[in-house]
Structure 1
Amino acid sequence: MRKLKNLLLTMLFFVTASVFAQTKITGTVLDETGEPLPGANVVEKGTTNGASTDFNGKFQLNVKSTSGTVVVSFVGYETKEVSYDSSDLGTVKLKMSNLLEEVVVIGSGVIDLAEGRKTPIAVSTIKASEIQDKAGNWDLPEILKSTPSVQNIKAGGFGDGQMFLRGFDQTNTAFLLNGQPINGMEDGKMYWSNWSGVMDVANAVQVQRGLGSSKLAISSVGGTVNIVTKTIDNREGGYVKQTFANNNYIKSTVYYSTGVSEKGWSFSSLLGHWQGDGYVNYTAGQGQTYFFSVGYQPNESNTFNFLLTGAPQWHAAAGRGTIQEFLDNGIRFNSWNEEGVNSPNLINGPEGKRYPGGRNIYHKPVANLSWDWTINEKSSLSSVLYGSLGRGAFASERISDGVGFARGSYNNHNWYGLVSNYTNQLSDNLEFNIGTDIRTYNGLHFRGVNEFVGISSINESSTFSGNYEITNTYGGINPWGMLFNPNTEHDQRLGYDYEEDITYYGLFTQLEYSKGSFSGFFQGSVSNQDHVKTDHFNFAESTDSEKVSNFGYNLKGGASYEITDNHKVFGNLGYYSRQPFHDDLFDNIRNSNDLIAPAVENQNITGFEFGYQYGSEFVSMNLNAYHTKWGNRTLLSNNGEIFDTPAYESYQTQGVEQIHKGIELEVMTRPLPGLKVNGFISIGDWKFSGDGRQRTFDSDGDEIGSATTVQLDGLEVGGAAQTTAGVSADYKLSPILSVDANWNFYKDLHSIGSLTQAPLKLPTYNIADLGVSINPTLKEGTYIKGVGFRVNVNNLFDELYLESVNGNTQASSNPSENWKGLNTSNRARFGYGRTWNASVKISF
């Protein structure tokens, strides 16, 4: 009995000692100007024990001992270690950084952010707070427009925008979601309508121009955009947000996170719904956003996270019109959807015009499972296993005398992959990385019936062999129906029916040396892509193409030298042997399995850049110079006419070489308390070099005539402005009121389209935006932690400008047929006029 009593007393002593050893420390995290940083992370060094600051930058954290060190971090600011030996840390000020310094909890070894390597790159980071303030009803590219060498083209309908980086379109810019490549594997394209929810869940977005820091064998030409989403929150909380905007746009969002429990579990979720009429006529749309994350930390060495997100949506598309049509009808004119113009027989339904010209309907859920394993003090392993099921179509009418059907051009896919990276600190000065990137993709492409109008079937026996009657419909205008009711029957398809299988194997490695003021790195990667195309349509047996295998590799290296604490110089050099896209390999991607002859060879990309960085307490500056030579590329273009008409032609031009060079200057300042003023200027010189071999195809994908030589040498590369500049300012007028504005300037923008003629130079233009934020101070201890009101006005002065022109018709000798020096017969798209959005956000 006495032994039992002594044992209980001993246990009680240790329990009591451990309880009393717990110390609660408090403090406030501010930026350099004294503004609070809500959501900053405060973590006990060497553990996963942490807390986040509240709306006023305050925190409290239970730690294991009365003295030690905490690590304080916030996105866009330098991480700071603070020692404590009392319960109050007081004020902790963080210095703003141009780089992303946030501690990424999940996938840290896979997500290639700039601070993951000491040798600098040309990079800009957009914080979560800025994304939330300025997102409104825009897609991600609009938020990135104040980044050097970035231009956003809105393109008319919801989610139809494009982004250019250093003159390269987004098919040649790598987009990563938590380390997972998300560009289309067939053609590299990005469809922002599939990613409308990314603005709601993004913690930060980092634009790496040029060579970047990514170790993957992705061979991006323009650069890399890293989108880092929410995963595990250290504390419980959430928000509800309501957004309103022009043209009857409304969006509702709710987010909640449990924080990390004592057993290491965390759950977070976001749900949203949006709808609106669209700025351009007849471009209504609506959709949802869902995001679910489950995290588990069984111990300090392992962290697991499962994430599921998607943005099902539908939206009507906007076509190009001639400049004259816009001048006659206004910039909201939609050439595809105007009654009596190109769609005389519109289908009517509950939403009014159901298929005016064309409607995009898509659902692309994405899931990934991440595992971070700290093996020991010197080594770690980070892996992401992911999958995506895309289901949807572009639907348009096929009506005569009020009856007919809505035809859908379906583009479905099944996509799975694994990215894994092992890191080992070989010595105090040398770090080694090695990893793998494996992807498998199955694309399903066909035409079918979305719905019947006044009929119940169509018979295509006169066109195809056998009794060919289509009686089933799939999807309608519902993206959820697209996902759960896909067309899996080959005899219920029309027009074309083929699938593509792409398998990708990549291996990458990096070695970085750092000692004193010097750092240097070397990266290498190899990859192999296998391509097979299978044609199903109207055959007794499906036929497979010849299997194509292409080997590629990347080599990158660089070095930097820190002259003083404030001055640093660096240089990077890289060479890519990049495999052609799947769509570049076949003679006719829709109706033929024949490979292009002569075969398409790898593209050759050589890039080098030099940079200088300056940083002080109130001013930081980045100066970059770059030169990119892109050889043996295949260029796809069209004549700008309406698709599915006899006038429409598309062009495939092989053997094209482009040279892009330029300089970029970015300056960030804090001249006064509460005032931030930033500016940038980028000057590019982007031209074609040599000649190309061009083939012409009609709207059915059939080749017209024979290949011809086109003279490209010295022609300007169109699509994006080669000279851009901008200034932005943010001023905190009071603790609850702040105003921000930005001005963007665009010059040396050229047309795209046929390469048989020189491109046209478009008029210079500039745009100003204004924003106001109101964040009332709330009484401490209430359940509601913060309330925020936000108003944005874009294109404040209602500038009338041409965003893009698809055509090469030179100015007419008759002045009445020109506008600002351009022939008004060219097909084009004007940019949006003045728009606005407003939101209220309640945090709890």
Structure 2
Amino acid sequence: MVKKRWLFLALALVGPLVTWAQHRMSIKVVDKQTQRPLAGATVGLEGSLASAQTNLNGSVQFKNLKEGTYRVQVRYLGYKTINQTIDISADESMQIALAPQAFLADEVVVNGTRANANSATTYKNVSQKELAKNNLGQDLPYLLEQTPGVVSYSDAGAGVGYTGLRIRGSDPTRINVTVNGIPYNDSESMGSFFVNLPDFASSVDNIQIQRGVGTSTNGAGAFGASINIQTNTRRDTAYAELDNSYGSFNTWKNTVRLGTGLIDNQFTVDGRLSRIQSDGFIDRGASDLKSFFLSGAWYGNKSLVRANVFSGKEKTYQAWNGVPEEKLFGTPDDIEGFIAANGLEGKDAENIRQANPRTYNSFLYQNQNDNYQQDHYQLLYSTTAINKLTLNGALHYTRGSGYYEEYKAGEKYTDYGLNPVVIGDSTLKKTDLVRERWLSNYFYGLTYSAEYKANDRLNLTLGGAYNRYKGDHYGDITWSRNPLFTAVENYTSAPDNSFQTAYRYYFNKATKNDFNVFGKGDYRIGNVGLFADLQYRRVSYSFLGYDRNLNNVQQQVELNFFNPKVGISYQLANNSMAYASYSIGNKEPVRDDYENSTPDSRPKAERMQDIELGYRLGGTQFNAGFNAYAMFYKNQLILTGQINDVGAQTRMNVPDSYRMGVEADVKWQPIPAFYWALTGAWSQNKIKNFVEYINIYDENWEVADQQINALGRTDIALSPSFVGSSELSYRPIADTEIAFISKYVSRQYLDNTSDQERSLDAFFVNNLRLSYQLRFKGVKHIGLSLLVNNIFNEKYESNGYTYSSIYEGDPTVYTNNFYFPQAGTNFLLGLHVGF
């Protein structure tokens, strides 16, 4: 807890460290042709943290400036960006005129679902430059780790392969992800699998993370956050870039990026090809990832057309079982007890005895791989042909197909819909087998928005989407040690007495239609901004599930959601603002919730009320965002252990739960060569009245009953009460950076019981980043980067799971905890060459 207090103290002390200087500078931004003031233009002073938006009079003021030379940058959508050098030796007042841009900028594509500096929304923008600093091979969740409230995790332990992130304790199924405004979350599971888009950050221009419900967007409901990704934007000059990285665990990343620049003042073509390979920290936790990105655009003075085609292909050895507690923390006797309790023998028993406790992987089968390919096609169109009106539309299509293969020992024939096999006088009830579980899906639709800027006070947006998902789910047995059928013609004998088969033991289809429409507007009265956002969403889902007679039949549900949002902001004189908002979000259950229940036990949709209060401050040496939030859930879906009427442990609704907390995002830059960035997120995440259900098994390992424990107010699983980060950056000479990066995450409970015996210990991890830029004739730049992760070799686990059981006649509750250890000290060394 000392480390936690240290971060808290740092945040408290940084606030008053603003260096007061002598001068002020007032800037008024106007339209060059009409001389009309431009409200909402962004004005920044390069080399400092100062950035602000102009008021209704087109004016902005910077105070406490030291004497010296400043480079002022002024940006406004639809106008050419101005960079101007100004010498400050006394108070200055100046006017900057922006000329209308000769082409439509890519930013309009995502503008309809984005928050801006005057929005009553809690958000964080991450630029391509910030992403590139750490983009040496790890997946996107690890590149976002320094943003408030984010906890990332990796199955293979080193940030390559299967990774994920939680924001405010909310898991990936509750985080809405869009790419150019197009939904990315899987329509059925609601998760976002970044392993299917390896090295995607190399084609990203910027990311906005909105915490809480946020603004209306497309796709799955945002229940903890939304991640809005915009891919590459216009580059006027031709370029070629090579990125190569090598690091621990035989990790390689190779990336080639090419671009034509602007052709005939209208066309651009950009492309990327990437490969990432890693053996992983966990035994056999290897990943082989490939991807490409191709984009072509046409720019007119009032219209824009962009076509994107991108794809990812992954082959990842499974490491999703984790390490049992007995192996990670126990004695040899504990390990022997685990072996006996789980019936391990032969190579499996020797594996758990001999493996390194922190790298143990229970899987030994050589092809225990996950294989999946996902191809994306996007056609984006924007136009401002009608005065004051911007129209955006996008067509999209995603094709996904793949499977995971696994070896299963001693499987019952009846579990696969087969009868026991009789050979002579012998009856075979079980067999060893290899199976593949397949997904083959299609996702397509359209998104649109119309933005009407009536005047400097009023903006209106109408938007929405219609998307359709079609997915086939099926499983094949590809090999069995014993025959699957008694009829000889159904199998062939092999020299090793094994039997080949291609038996399909299940097949079902799912279809989901997702329609939404939203309207929002913001209106300014002096320094006060008013905001309203109303969304209607309709979901229709057809799936294979149990009916009231426990027959597996095709079923359908239809859900209608209304998601209103209102907010108010107040612009203060010192380039700061305060805001408050109230939002309601609704979210449907996931596939497993529907598939493993009946209409009588089917869970209800979740509902959340989100209250956000915040303050943002921008200065030349210090900027900060502070906010408080309260998210109140009705019918939140969680695992309780309760068995429903079809014998499944699906998620159940809990009537009342909440997340409440405060967040800080602070950056201090006393001199141009040094900055300190800090984030902190303190929270309480509670279920008001939690009831735990524990299975009681009979001698045949069948569930005979359940023990019920009423536990009252408990913590929500995997929701730390504190998450903090720090980045200290120093540039001792030009083109050189030394950065010390820290991350602290407090205790996380593996389930909802608040039992410390079922939890992840707090961890404090520190990384070191070194970079140096070189320039040679004929080469634009050469960049060398070294990222040393976990430099103090902290032994920690960032994810895990647990389950408990009781056996008839024995009142003891046996709890099994599993953990995902993360790598100790490791490195990534990168070389970037730009032409």
- Please say if 1:418 is aligned against 2:446: yes
- Structure 2 letter corresponding to 1:33: G
Q: Partners in 2 of 1:809 and 1:696 — Cα distance?
A: 7
Match of 2:59 in 1: none
- Structure 1 letter corresponding to 2:636: R
2:797 aligned to which of 784, 799, 802: 802
Secondary structure, counterpart of 1:132 in structure 2: helix
Match of 1:289 in 2: 291
- Structure 2 letter corresponding to 1:606: Q
- Please say if 1:793 is aligned against 2:825: no
- Structure 1 letter corresponding to 2:612: E
- Please say if 1:614 is aligned against 2:617: yes
Q: Partners in 1 of 2:702 and 2:112 — Cα distance?
A: 42
Give 1:770 shift. 0.3
Give 1:715 shift. 0.8
Match of 1:633 in 2: 636
Give 1:807 shift. 2.8
Q: Which aligned pairs between 1:646-795 and structure 2 lie closer than 5 A? A: 650-691=649-690, 711=710, 713-752=712-751, 760-779=758-777, 782=778, 784-795=779-790
Match of 1:23 in 2: none
Q: Partners in 2 of 1:251 and 1:535 — Cα distance?
A: 43
Match of 2:241 in 1: 239
Give 1:210 shift. 1.0
Please say if residues 315 and 371 of structure 2, whose CA atoms lie closer than 8 Å, have aligned partners that are also in contact.
Answer: yes
Match of 1:439 in 2: 467
Match of 1:600 in 2: 603
Q: Partners in 2 of 1:838 and 1:506 — Cα distance?
A: 45
Q: Deviations over 1:279-332 (max 9, x none)?
A: 1111112121101101112x31211111011110101121222233124799xx
Change (3 A) 1:789 1:328: farther
Q: Partners in 1 of 2:723 and 2:742 — Cα distance?
A: 11
- Please say if 1:32 is aligned against 2:46: yes
Q: Partners in 2 of 1:467 and 1:516 — Cα distance?
A: 85
Please say if residues 355 and 406 of structure 1, whose CA atoms lie closer than 8 Å, have aligned partners that are also in contact.
Answer: no
Q: Partners in 2 of 1:543 and 1:276 — Cα distance?
A: 42
- Structure 1 letter corresponding to 2:638: L
Please say if residues 232 and 267 of structure 1, whose CA atoms lie closer than 8 Å, have aligned partners that are also in contact.
Answer: no
Change (3 A) 1:109 1:715: same
Please say if residues 109 and 422 of structure 1, whose CA atoms lie closer than 8 Å, have aligned partners that are also in contact.
Answer: no
Give 1:616 shift. 0.9
Change (3 A) 1:386 1:703: farther
- Please say if 1:529 is aligned against 2:520: no
- Structure 1 letter corresponding to 2:281: Y
Output the TM-score relative to the length of structure 2.
Answer: 0.75
Give 1:191 shift. 1.7
Greater strand share, 1 or 2? Answer: 2
Give 1:343 shift. 9.6
Q: Partners in 1 of 2:190 and 2:691 — Cα distance?
A: 21
Change (3 A) 1:797 1:137: same
Change (3 A) 1:404 1:582: closer
Match of 2:516 in 1: 506
Q: Which aligned pairs between 1:191-206 and structure 2 lie closer than 5 A? A: 191-206=193-208
Give 1:535 shift. 8.3
Q: Which aligned pairs between 1:277-316 and structure 2 lie closer than 5 A? A: 277-297=279-299, 299-316=300-317
Q: Partners in 2 of 1:579 and 1:620 — Cα distance?
A: 38
Secondary structure, counterpart of 2:201 in structure 1: helix
Please say if residues 587 and 596 of structure 1, whose CA atoms lie closer than 8 Å, have aligned partners that are also in contact.
Answer: no
Q: Which aligned pairs between 1:237-276 and structure 2 lie closer than 5 A? A: 237-262=239-264, 264-276=266-278
Secondary structure, counterpart of 1:108 in structure 2: helix
Give 1:461 shift. 3.8
- Structure 1 letter corresponding to 2:184: I
Secondary structure, counterpart of 1:145 in structure 2: coil
Q: Deviations over 1:739-789 (max 9, x none)?
A: 111111121322237x6978745432211100000101334xx2x211101
- Please say if 1:557 is aligned against 2:555: no
Give 1:503 shift. 0.7
Give 1:176 shift. 1.2
Change (3 A) 1:399 1:824: closer
Match of 2:10 in 1: none
Q: Which aligned pairs between 1:338-377 and structure 2 lie closer than 5 A? A: 340-341=347-348, 355-356=365-366, 358-377=368-387
Q: Deviations over 1:26-81 (max 9, x none)?
A: xxx9963389xxxxxxxxxxxxxxxxxxxxxxx9xxxxxxxxx996589xxx9964
Percent identity over the alignment is 17
2:224 aligned to which of 222, 225, 246: 222
Give 1:199 shift. 1.9
Give 1:838 shift. 0.6
Q: Partners in 1 of 2:76 and 2:350 — Cα distance?
A: 56
Q: Partners in 1 of 2:743 and 2:133 — Cα distance?
A: 18
Q: Deviations over 1:406-443 (max 9, x none)?
A: 41111221111211001112333111111121110011
| C-alpha RMSD of the superposition | 4.0
Q: Partners in 2 of 1:129 and 1:697 — Cα distance?
A: 55
Secondary structure, counterpart of 2:716 in structure 1: coil
Give 1:184 shift. 1.2
- Structure 1 letter corresponding to 2:625: N
Change (3 A) 1:225 1:31: same
Match of 1:55 in 2: none
Aligned length: 689
Greater Cα offset, 502-511 or 829-838: 829-838
Change (3 A) 1:832 1:737: same
2:406 aligned to which of 384, 396, 407: 396
Please say if residues 652 and 695 of structure 1, whose CA atoms lie closer than 8 Å, have aligned partners that are also in contact.
Answer: no
Give 1:729 shift. 1.3
- Please say if 1:135 is aligned against 2:149: no
- Structure 2 letter corresponding to 1:423: E
Give 1:730 shift. 1.4
Change (3 A) 1:395 1:119: same
Q: Partners in 1 of 2:345 and 2:303 — Cα distance?
A: 58
Secondary structure, counterpart of 1:326 in structure 2: helix
Q: Partners in 2 of 1:545 and 1:189 — Cα distance?
A: 23
Change (3 A) 1:398 1:708: closer
Q: Partners in 2 of 1:156 and 1:638 — Cα distance?
A: 27
Give 1:500 shift. 0.7
Secondary structure, counterpart of 1:118 in structure 2: coil
Give 1:390 shift. 0.8
Q: Partners in 1 of 2:719 and 2:515 — Cα distance?
A: 33
Output the TM-score relative to the length of structure 1.
Answer: 0.74
Please say if residues 393 and 447 of structure 2, whose CA atoms lie closer than 8 Å, have aligned partners that are also in contact.
Answer: yes
2:832 aligned to which of 831, 837, 841: 841
Q: Partners in 1 of 2:575 and 2:390 — Cα distance?
A: 32
